[in-house]
Chains A and B, each alone.
Chain A
Amino acid sequence: MRYLDEYRDRDLAHRMINQIKKIATRPWAIMEICGGQTHSFMRYGLDELLPSQIDLVHGPGCPVCVTPLELIDKALTIALQPKVIFTSFGDMLRVPGSQDDLFSIRAKGGKVRVVYSPLDAVKIAKENPDHQVVFFAIGFETTAPVNATSVIQAKALNLKNYSILVSQVCVPPAMHAILSSPANRVQAFLAAGHVCSVMGYWQYHPIAEKYHVPIVVTGFEPVDLLNGVRMAVEQLEKNQAMVQNAYPRVVSEQGNKPAQKIIDQVFMPVDRNWRGIGTIPLSGLGLRPEYSEFDAELRFNVSHIQTKESEVCIAGDILQGIKKPSNCPAFGTACTPEHPLGAPMVSSEGTCSAFYRFRRG
């Protein structure tokens, strides 16, 4: 497959590993922001091929994982109502709320449908005028443009039966939160390539400067990841703290301007609660007042629902890179992909699920 196979070239990957071995003179903790990157590292066994000085810290970049429990409970409450079709990306179906997950709501008779794009949800709304159709709009800056587009489309079609339950979060505020935490041990970042394809990387210069931390925009294939690590280690060894782009075939400094415009048209920055981490100021996106009629929280009056997290789950520390799944007493015992206690065990991008699938025992 073109644009993929060349980035999975074994010889090239091994040359990069050797280069990293040559330049790394001491231990470095490097965080890959995105859960997709975490899974690639493990899926290809790259973490084992890297020299032991490179400590990969797994970041908060899994939209399923950081969606707060109370929002999942809100989703479940809405999905169980008659005359509602609740649509979601597949990953969210297995995330446990405080009682149930969307799979069990479906078994109880709730109309829960997996869609691949919110635009499919708009189509469902058009075809089912006697139902309220709700889309679970989760994700980082990557999903924001298409989620916003669904609202613009619904407005243009004058659909009164479409709304979105918003849990959009943004990467830069999370990086600030991690770096300013007293427990922080991250010395460099591999920024999430897909987020940057939308947003560019101009936002990262102030972070690199303020915290003196190298940030390398990185893709998801083995050669991309190793190249990102190599560039980060090079900077660390030279005591540099720049923003570099190791994913130029997809990412530009300014990003995708039309997509940013669409995000800005529909959403505005709001405070968001991150599962396991807590509220980070202006770390997410909410619907602008002129689109509030598409806000499922208001339409279904579920804003009052509040929920407490499981006390055993250390998702928060894991998402901030403070602890690893192996430090969790529930990992692989009380908490497994079949019976997850916390979201990082559920999603295909979750750190605990990556450890469980590829590295257990």
Chain B
Amino acid sequence: MSDPIENSENIVIEGAYCPLPLEHSEQIVIGHGSGGKMTHDLIQKVFHPYFKNEYLAQGNDFSLIVPDRFDRNKNWVFTTDSHVVTPLFFPGGDIGRLAICGTVNDICVSGGQPLFLTAGFIIEEGLSISVLHKVLASMREAANEAGVSIIAGDTKVVEKGKADQLFITTSGFGLASPLIQLGGQFAKPGDQVIITGTIGDHGIAVLAARGELGFSSDIQSDVAPLNHMVQSLLEVAPHTHVIRDPTRGGLATTLNEIARQSNVGIVIDEINIPVNPTVHSVCELMGFDPLYIANEGKLVIIVPEEEADLALKEVQSTLYGGKAAIIGKIVSEPPKRVLLKTTMGGTRILDMLAGEMLPRIC
């Protein structure tokens, strides 16, 4: 999108083509990645209308950002994330919403406010342009909701079979107050562990959309931008120690990462973990464990005990936090381990996911 804008009015037709080439306005062909007129048209006609802003209007290969004088004392937060998902559209979301929210959320867990995103598109030859329109519209909606601008972009087209329809890489830039210190290494014994809602919804929604379950379900992906939730949280609980989004590998894997980084133990009460009843049923049938299933709109928040109740109430009052719950606490022993108090009252290790989760045999 920040490809140089040529003056399209000045393009001179050098001679009549016979027969006239097809315009290819219905699907992506290799020519759309040539860097020539087709690329230019694709960017102008398909991409730009969705992401109009002062930066893209500069029309350069770059976007120049002049920092506000208030921003000069802030920390910079930078992140990048690639998105591949089959199918591109699933109940509750699509690859476009995922690409915006994934990067927005990676910035906001630093406590920072995401401001600018860039987007790189790798498109497989043959992708319908109407699909691209739908994805871009969804990206715009998610970006507006998060309050971020997409200020640079790039497209490449690869031959049929060299990619799976559409891959999107987004990078993000944000600013954070230097007073906020968040990170996986800051969990302290006594802290409380909050999950901001039901776990496993995204993974099961995508699995169901692939038709791999052999039955349909009403599960919606939870994919959502969580920056507003984080800002509200930090107003009432400024001493929050850790915020992390439990995406691939699920809640269990995220908790293990934090336990290792902070050299602490974490004890979780299974009975308090919110799980949507349909997700629960699907997991029972397929032999999956919701603790290991991906989320795209949830946060694990680790907060000092004295701020925990306020933090919980605040999160519960936000759009995506209605089902938030305190699910456990940080302990000093055993370090680097997550223990689960089972619904039966027993205790066991809750480990990271090893490899791919496999459905059971019988």
Contact = CB atoms under 8 A, between A and B. Distances in A.
Q: Do A and B assemble together?
A: yes
A83 interface: no
B65 interface: no
B360 A348 contact: yes
Contacts of A42: 348
B277 interface: yes
B360 A10 contact: no
Contact of B342 (A45, A63, A336): A45
B361 A143 contact: yes
Contacts of B20: none
A89 interface: yes
Contacts of B351: 356-358, 360
A138 to B, nearest CB: 7
Nearest to A119: B214
Contacts of B342: 43-45
Nearest to A348: B360
B261 interface: no
B348 A94 contact: no
Contacts of B359: 89-91, 114, 116
B343 interface: yes
A178 to B, nearest CB: 20
Nearest to A356: B351
Interface string B333-362: 000000001111111110100111011111
Nearest to A195: B362
A46 B346 contact: yes
Interface in B169-203: none
A139 B362 contact: yes
Nearest to B214: A116
Interface in A331-361: 336-338, 347-349, 356-360
A197 to B, nearest CB: 10
B58 interface: no
Contacts of A46: 344, 346
Contact of B361 (A10, A64, A222): A64
B280 A1 contact: yes
B266 to A, nearest CB: 16
B344 A8 contact: yes
Contacts of A4: 284
A45 B344 contact: yes
A45 B270 CA distance: 12
Contacts of A1: 277, 280-281, 284
B212 interface: yes
A8 B342 CA distance: 11
A94 B212 CA distance: 20
Interface in A61-117: 63-64, 89-91, 93-94, 114, 116-117
Nearest to B344: A44
Interface in B259-311: 277, 280-281, 284, 286-287
Nearest to B359: A90
Nearest to B270: A44
A260 to B, nearest CB: 16
Contacts of A349: 360-361
Interface in A36-53: 36, 42-49
A25 to B, nearest CB: 24
Nearest to B280: A1
B344 A49 contact: yes
B348 A49 contact: no
Contacts of B341: 45
A4 to B, nearest CB: 6
A46 B342 CA distance: 9
Contacts of B281: 1
A336 B355 CA distance: 11
B355 A348 contact: no
A194 B362 CA distance: 8
Contacts of B348: 42-45, 48, 358-359
A235 interface: no
B349 A359 contact: yes
A336 B354 CA distance: 9
Contacts of B214: 116-117
A188 interface: no
B280 A8 contact: no
A63 B361 CA distance: 8
Nearest to B278: A1
A187 interface: no
Interface centre among B286, B348, B358, B362 (most CB of A within 10 A): B362
Contacts of A45: 341-342, 344-348
A337 B361 contact: no
Interface of A: 1, 4, 8, 10, 13-14, 36, 42-49, 63-64, 89-91, 93-94, 114, 116-117, 138-140, 142-143, 194, 222, 336-338, 347-349, 356-360
Interface of B: 212, 214, 277, 280-281, 284, 286-287, 341-349, 351, 354-356, 358-362
A-B pairs with the 9 shortest C-beta distances?
A: A45-B346, A90-B358, A337-B354, A358-B348, A44-B344, A142-B362, A45-B342, A89-B361, A90-B359
26 contacts: A8-B343, A8-B344, A13-B345, A14-B345, A44-B344, A45-B344, A45-B346, A47-B346, A48-B346, A48-B348, A89-B361, A90-B360, A91-B358, A91-B360, A114-B358, A114-B359, A116-B359, A139-B362, A143-B361, A222-B344, A337-B354, A338-B354, A338-B355, A356-B351, A359-B348, A360-B351
